[in-house]
Amino acid sequence: MTTTSDLGMQIIREALESYLEPKMAALIVFGALQGQPDENLPQTAEGLMDFARGALALELTRRVGQAEATVVVSNLQAILGAALGSASPPRRRERHRPSQAATHALPDGSGPVKIVVVARSRRLMNQLRAAIGAHLVAAAATSDLKTLEELRRSLGPDVVVIDGQDAADIRPPDLATAMADARGRPLVLIWASDQPWGNAVSRAFDEHGTPFAMIARTEGHEPLLDYVRSRSHG
């Protein structure tokens, strides 16, 4: 059985949110997706189940502990089975929200955050959409300067995320020049600024005087989600 990746990840994210704060659910989904072998999200029922039992279960265990993770994954599999057409009904559980809070919550009634991801692949864009919610993020990805210019005009991004570990086909000085002239002054983030291409882009932005924020890969993904959520429209 095939489903869309947005629908499948929505089911997973909303199921997690019945146990965890939305911000923690987003962290767990994003962290689990870091280990995916390619840029595509799970799209089949089997792929979603494998993701829930594997990478997601590991990230849950790391964040909330083995006992809680076991319960959440068991119920998540039942929810996926019911939603995607199997005979296994979801077991209901009283909502439990741990106190951990690592990212800002999106305000109620906020519009989508408009994001352009500059990278060779669509991996980071897909991960952000899956973690935060496709209905809360209007995202596009580009690996060349011409398309970046077109997206800046058509989308008017709130945030431009430059993936420092997935080098786009753009010279860092050219990227710094382009973003210095960006209309609307979007927030520019260099994710994985401690990686070779991210470091080169950071140096180019510094030399050009283009405003930006750096997030080293070693800092984890919490700051990235914090920055994106901070630009939501309330």
pLDDT tens by residue, 52-102: 999 999 999 999 999 999 999 999 999 888 887 643 334 444 444 333 333
| Residue whose C-alpha is closest to residue 26's, from 91, 113, 152, 119 | 113
What is the model's pLDDT at position 104?
33
- Contact between 151 and 142 under an 8 Å Cβ cutoff? The reply is yes
Q: Are residues 124 and 40 in the same domain?
A: no
Domain match, 79 and 119 both = no
H/E stretch holding 118:
strand 113-118
pTM recorded for the entire structure: 0.83
Distance CA 74, CA 57 (A): 10
Q: Domain total for the chain?
A: 2
- Residues 159, 77 share a domain: no
My answer on whether 169 and 78 are in the same domain is: no
- Which residues on adjacent β-strands are paired with residue 213? 189
* Same domain flag for 193 and 121: yes
Let me know whether 212 and 127 are in one domain: yes
State how far the Cα of 188 lies from the Cα of 213, in Å rounded to an integer: 6
Q: Write down the pLDDT at residue 43.
A: 80
Q: How far is CA 216 from CA 130, 145, 193, in A?
A: 21, 24, 5
Pair 159, 115: CB distance under 8 Å: yes
CATH number of residue 196's parent domain: 3.40.50.2300
217 and 166, same domain (yes or no): yes
C-beta separation of 113 from 158 below 8 A: yes
Q: Does one domain contain both 221 and 152? A: yes
Task: Print the domain residue range for 32.
Answer: 5-83
The answer to whether position 101 is within a domain reads no
Are 84 and 48 contacting, i.e. CB atoms less than 8 angstroms apart?
Answer: yes
Where b means 16+ CB within 10 Å and e means fewer, 58-90 reads bbbbebbeeebbebbbebbbbbbbebbeeeeeb
Digit-by-digit pLDDT tens for the chain (234 residues) are 444 577 889 999 999 998 999 999 999 999 999 877 778 888 888 889 999 999 999 999 999 999 999 999 999 999 888 887 643 334 444 444 333 333 333 334 457 899 999 999 999 999 999 999 888 889 999 999 999 999 998 989 999 999 999 999 999 999 999 998 766 689 999 999 999 999 999 999 999 998 999 999 999 899 999 999 888 754
Picking from 61, 83, 105, the residue at the C-terminal end of a domain is 83
